[in-house]
Structures are given as structure tokens and as C-alpha cells.
Amino acid sequence: MDSRTRSRGAKGRWVLAMGAASTVMTSSAVVACAAPDVRPPDRSDEVATADAMVARARFDTIAWLNEGSRVAHGNGVYAAACTECHGYLGDGVTEYATRRGLKVPSLVRRDWRLAGDIAAVRARVFSGHAAGMPTWGLRGDARLSLRDVDAVAFYVMTQLRDDALAPPRPTLKVRR
Ligand code: HEC
């Protein structure tokens, strides 16, 4: 074997090694692209996705036997899903929220910005908020259906708030 053949042989092996390396690089790039994204969704992305969905929801097609059944259903949803943060009275004063440093707004203030706007309340319940309100419409098995969302919004508007259908609070007369 002369020196020329030896060097050609060496070069051939080098090219082969490069080929193998680039195959490894290409296949790992393919794996990286195909791998599922397992990161939890960013909260603001999740809220934006839910906003787009709830904007198309047809709440007006949800039928209730009567107002009482809508209220009763909403009461159950509120007790199960909302009281921990918003409180039974809707004033937002709860130990849970305080412990977590959550700023939970009162749903019963007279000058509430959402007063009378049930569509906005449904949308907020469905989508939540990055500041600590869960995205109820997209919580997997624990999600609220559109029917649940409608009922709980109706419950907040007509039962928790005393400026709507709820009877006025009695005023105590103190005898002197
Ligand atoms: C884990 C705590 C938590 C739970 C549970 C929760 N909320 Fe909230 N909620 C919040 C926080 C925090 C905000 C304030 C978000 C913000 O900064 O606008 C909020 C905001 C709201 C608002 C908007 C109020 C406003 O003045 O802008 C409505 C309406 C509301 N929640 C209704 C509900 C209802 C109905 C439920 C039950 C289905 C519920 N929330 C469950 C924490 C919670």
C-alpha cells in the first residue's frame, strides 16, 4: 500500500464519521420538534384562549325550567366553586384569599363595575384572570359547563347582590 492509498483511506473514514454525526444531529433535531410541549400553559394565554371561546358561546340557547331552578343550580355552583375566595356573601373576605395574598374583589359593592352586566360576569367566570381567578371554562374534568357558568352568574346578579331581585336587608330599629 503506498502513501496515497493510505491517505485516501483515512479521508474516507473521516467523511463517513461526519456523515454519521450529521445523521445524529438531524434526527435529534426532528425529535426535538416532534416532542410534545409539556409546559403548563401561561396563565394569560389560557385566559385569552378562553376569552375567544366564550365570545362565541350561545348562552341564550340554554333553557331553564324556571327561574328557581336556575338560581338553585347557581347556588350549588357558587357554594362549590366560588366561596373559598369570594366568600358566602360575595364580599371577597376569606381566610383562603388572605393566606395566599389574593386580592379578591367584592361582587356585592353597590358601585360594582359589572353591576347589571351578566354577559361580562359569565365571561369572567369562564375565562378567569391571571391575577388568581381560575379559568373555569378550561379546567379539564373540573371545568364548569356553559350551563354552570350561566347559573352561577345569574345567582350572583340576583341573589348575592341586594340591588337586584333579592329582598332588601331588614333595618334594625333600636329602641331607646
Ligand atoms: C382561587 C380564588 C378564586 C376562586 C375560586 C374564584 N375567584 Fe373570582 N376572582 C378571583 C380573583 C383574585 C379575582 C380578581 C381578578 C382581577 O384582578 O380582576 C376574581 C374576579 C372575579 C370577578 C370579576 C370581579 C370584578 O370586579 O372585576 C367575578 C365576576 C368573579 N371573580 C366571579 C367568580 C365566581 C362566580 C366564582 C366561582 C365560579 C369565582 N369567581 C371563583 C379569585 C377567585
Residue ranges covered by each domain of the chain = 1-35, 43-160
Give nearest CA residue, ligand 1 atom 14: 104
pTM attached to this predicted model: 0.76
Return the CATH fold of 43-160. Cytochrome Bc1 Complex; Chain D, domain 2 (1.10.760)
Residue 119 in contact with ligand 1 by CB distance below 6 A: no
The pLDDT assigned to 36 comes to 73
The pLDDT assigned to 33 comes to 63
The pLDDT assigned to 132 comes to 92
The pLDDT assigned to 165 comes to 44
* Distance between Cα 63 and ligand 1 center (Å): 25
The span from the CA of 101 to the CA of 97, in Å, is 6
The pLDDT assigned to 140 comes to 87
Give nearest CA residue, ligand 1 atom 29: 121
* Distance between Cα 8 and ligand 1 center (Å): 74
Using the atom order of ligand 1, give the atom closest to the CA of residue 84: 5
Identify the three-state secondary structure at position 129: strand
| Amino acid code (one letter) for 141 | D
Give nearest CA residue, ligand 1 atom 2: 85
pLDDT average per 10 residues of sequence, the chain (176 residues): 48 49 49 67 90 95 96 97 96 95 94 93 96 93 95 95 56 68
Residue 123 in contact with ligand 1 by CB distance below 6 A: no
The span from the CA of 116 to the CA of 94, in Å, is 25
The span from the CA of 123 to the CA of 51, in Å, is 7
For residue 176 the three cell numbers come to 331607646
Residues 10-37 as b/e (b if ≥16 CB within 10 A, e otherwise) read eeeeeeeeeeeeeeeeeeeeeeeeeeee
Using the atom order of ligand 1, give the atom closest to the CA of residue 77: 38
